[in-house]
Amino acid sequence: MNDTEDIEDIEDSGSSGEEESTPRSWFYRDRDVADAKRKAMYQRHKDRPSIKKINEELGLSDDLYPVMASLEEMDAVLEDGGTFSDIFKTLVYSDAMESALAFLLLVEEKSNTQVKSPEQLLKLAKLGKKAEKDVTSAYYEACEFKYQLALEKILRDGGKYKDLLGLNPEAYGLPDEGEDERKTHVETAIVLYYGFIETAVFRPSVRDVAEELEAPYEVILKASKCMDAKKDTDEIYKDF
């Protein structure tokens, strides 16, 4: 089977005269097509050294879609005769850590060098002194993204709160940070993994999550509120 067959199967399957046509069916159809495209992209990139390495470390497979999508855009710029400077100016966004990680991986691939500092990234990409501040920011965004992915893997694998705290951010290129900052990273990972967001239709029980992670109840309660809009009452979320 080639990379696109699974997409075509979804798009072409079924009789148009008999196929259900409701908002619900449209939602599931769109979701299935999107999932197939993600898997097809992963098949195209799974043997790419940078993707293979990060996948082996974090076990993400097609969940690396945003990074792979950014890499494809960056590859196209180089194929058209562009430079790292062109890519950095147009495709690395301050609000999208996946683009920063893609840029870091691309530079490492092309230079056959593991980048260990923003200064090294600046030099290998030949971006010039004026870009130093932005390159430094992008480098640490890429490192933070890898760290967050590693925290997510711990949660997926059934790890506990102590395991999250035990993960060293320095192993992912981040500078040494205090205990409070590390706890903030961990709380963010918990919020995103369990869906403690204001717009979530179904929010998990704070107590259940605390018991599952063997974490202090107060820590999970605080994390569950951090993305809520401020309200007049102190009790934003009740745990039943």
**pTM (predicted TM-score):** 0.77
> What's residue 198's pLDDT?
61
What letter would DSSP give residue 232?
Answer: S
| Span 9-23, pLDDT tens digits | 434 444 444 555 565
User: What are the Cα distances from residue 128, in Å, to 35, 120, 187?
Assistant: 40, 12, 37
Higher-scoring residue by pLDDT: 202, 206: 206
| Span 28-63, pLDDT tens digits | 566 777 788 888 888 888 899 999 888 888 887 566
- Domain range list for the chain: 24-146, 159-225
* CA gap 148, 90 in Å, rounded: 25
> What's residue 228's pLDDT?
57
**SS3 label, residue 168:** coil
What residue type is 45 in one-letter code? H
Neighbours of 83 (CB within 10 A): 13
